[in-house]
Amino acid sequence: MIKLSGISKNYKIFSLKDISLEIQKGEYLVILGPSGSGKTLLLEIIASLEKPHKGSIEGVDNSKIGFIYQNLMLFPHLSVFDNIAYGLKMRGNKKMKVSETVVQTSKKLHIEHLLERNIKTLSGGEKQRVAIARAVVYKPELLLFDEPTAALDQNVKNEIQKLFRQIHRETGATVIHVTHDFNEALSVADKIAVIKNGAIVQFGTPEEIFNTPADSFVADFVGYRNVYSGKIEDNCFISGNIKIYVESKDRKKVYIAVKSEDTILSVEKIKSSARNSFHGEITDIEKKFNGYNIVVNAGFEICSTITSASFNNLELDIGKKVFITFKSSAVKVFCH
């Protein structure tokens, strides 16, 4: 187990604040947060590339770490073979052992045909596979990934994420992976730690983070499209002209969030036990991979996610009048 206790560090005008985490052996942890939140700095502290001003780390053997940086940091003057072999050579492995291990690793990553190539001639996805091979070739116990797919297009990104899952499954290594992409976190993580302004604001499984976000920041960051600030009186959230029924006690300052997937969009008002139903006009239509986000002005902006089949059946277009309906139990409530 890797244990971080009270990690704090002042770095220029930024600081990490009292970060404590426990990462179980063989676990895949994603540290999720926006740019500038401290993800990379925390990763560098774990790798002993930076020293914390306060706190301690237990369970990390610096000689058994594989690190993939966002910019990959491949050696441009070396071949693919020599890039992958670098860590083995530095550890004093014999030439024959180095060659056998590099070939075996490159075959697993489907880059054996690239071994004699110059790094400068590779595509982004090929470079990423070389960086992964270099990180895993000496079988580290801990893998650290710093925004590893940030520069890749979506198809290549999906391939690399699949490869990360495979490597984790086959090696049993502990993985700490930082990203700002919640969909990437969902695709690989056993646990997620959400970081904001240098502090961990929520830690849990992907399902816990998505279904019960700890606050409005987490809700907004993981994709809740409908987040509002106001107050609750008599089981009713009030903010300007917004009135939404909730299952919560009276509170003077709260945020609420409603997943766009938890709403029903219709062209006629539906008969339902749901207490929240709003009539408005479609102002925007966003195509998604497996459906649509429909943005409606109902006196306030609210978004509903629907399937492609529903979109076609309802014959939706900008300016069309629709209803958005959802239950009071679908509303998440957070204190300020």
Backbone angles phi, psi at 32, to 5 degrees: -115, 130
- CA–CA separation, 129 and 109 (whole Å): 7
Question: Residues 211-246: pLDDT tens digits?
Answer: 889 888 999 888 888 999 999 999 999 998 899 999
Q: Please, are residues 256 and 334 in contact by the beta-carbon 8 Å criterion?
A: yes
Q: Are strands 174-179 and 142-146 parallel, antiparallel or unpaired?
A: parallel
Residues of the chain short of pLDDT 70, as ranges, are: 336
Q: Provide Rg for the chain, Cα atoms.
A: 24
- CA–CA separation, 138 and 172 (whole Å): 14
Angle of helix 124-136 relative to helix 80-90, nearest 10 degrees, comes to: 20
Calculated CA dihedral for residues 317, 319, 320, 324, nearest 10 degrees: 100
- CA–CA separation, 102 and 84 (whole Å): 6
Q: Please, are residues 52 and 43 in contact by the beta-carbon 8 Å criterion?
A: no
HSE toward the beta carbon, residue 119, CA cutoff 13 A: 19
Handedness of CA 310, 228, 259, 325 (dihedral sign): negative
Question: Residues 139-177: pLDDT tens digits?
Answer: 999 999 999 988 888 888 899 999 999 999 999 999 999
Measured in whole angstroms, how far is the alpha carbon of residue 193 from the centre of its chain? 9
Name residues whose C-beta falls within 8 Å of residue 210's C-beta, 6 or more positions apart in sequence.
Answer: 186, 222, 223
Helix H or strand E encompassing 276: strand 276-288
Q: Please, are residues 109 and 101 in contact by the beta-carbon 8 Å criterion?
A: no
Helix H or strand E encompassing 243: strand 242-245
Report the residue count for the chain: 336
- The pLDDT value recorded for residue 145 is 96
HSE toward the beta carbon, residue 146, CA cutoff 13 A: 21
- CA–CA separation, 109 and 132 (whole Å): 8
Q: Please, are residues 253 and 331 in contact by the beta-carbon 8 Å criterion?
A: no
- The pLDDT value recorded for residue 336 is 57
Long-range contacts of 108-115 (CB under 8 A, 24+ apart): 109/133, 109/163, 111/80, 114/80, 115/79, 115/80, 115/81, 115/84
Handedness of CA 150, 131, 194, 292 (dihedral sign): positive
